[in-house]
Amino acid sequence: MPSQAKEPLAMFRKGRLAAPLVLLVLIFWWAQPAPEPSASGVPADAEKARVLRVIDGDTLELDDGRRVRLIGIDAPEKEGPYTRAEPYGDTAAEYARKALEDQTVWLERDVSDTDRYGRLLRYVYLADGTQVNRWFVAEGLARAAEYPPDTRDAGLLQRAEQEARQENRGLWQ
């Protein structure tokens, strides 16, 4: 009996079981259903989360304690223990607070997972598919800002800023 128990291991080492094992893994992988596209416009692979509070115009705290920095935007700073108030900073933070606190959102990653402060770097979506990053720039609550390598939507955000400037919204009044 002991010689039979060693037989499959010996066969594997000789390569006789490697090909069938790889084939089984590939079949299992191919059989997995593809993510369904979202009818609302929220990316299918986005992570659902709940916003506990808005820290400022481009940073959120989730109900699980994680912090999220919105990719591709730079909102003016509000007065804080480590920051001086910038023009329109309090307005941007209050707008974000009213729009996002206690709301369910969806988080989508670009390239990087976190920034140097440990905050998640994400595009944030509402249930209707609205991308919050773009929305805040289009309303003049933040500037478009490229922080490589997370630049997937940089063109979209730049166009939103141009539109806000032309329409004299928010920061551009």
How does DSSP assign 96-124, residue by residue?
Answer: HHHHHTT-EEEEE--S-SB-TTSPEEEEE
Low-confidence ranges of the chain (pLDDT < 70): 1-39
| pTM assigned to the model | 0.76
Alpha-carbon distance 34 to 46, whole Å? 14
146 closest CA partner among 138, 154, 137, 134: 154
Start-to-end CA distance of the chain, whole Å, equals 85
Annotated active-site residue 134? The verdict is no
Annotation says 119 is catalytic:
yes
Of the listed 50, 53, 61, 77, which one is catalytic? 77
Alpha-carbon torsion, ordered 83, 64, 120, 86, to 10 deg:
-20
| Domain extents in the chain | 2-31, 47-172
109, 119, 122, 143: the catalytic one is: 119
In this predicted structure, what is the pLDDT of residue 2?
Answer: 52
Q: Does 47-172 carry CATH code 1.10.10.10?
A: no
Q: 30 — phi, psi (to 5°)?
A: -65, -25
pLDDT given for residue 85 in this prediction: 73
Question: For residue 56, what are its two tokens?
Answer: 């400022």
Distance in angstroms (rounded) separating the CA atoms of residues 13 and 6? 11
101 catalytically annotated = no
How many DSSP H helices and E strands does the chain contain?
5, 7
pLDDT of residue 1: 52
Do the beta carbons of residue 73 and residue 136 sit within 8 Å?
yes
What is the pLDDT at residue 172? Answer: 94
pLDDT in tens, 107-139: 999 999 999 999 999 999 999 999 999 999 999
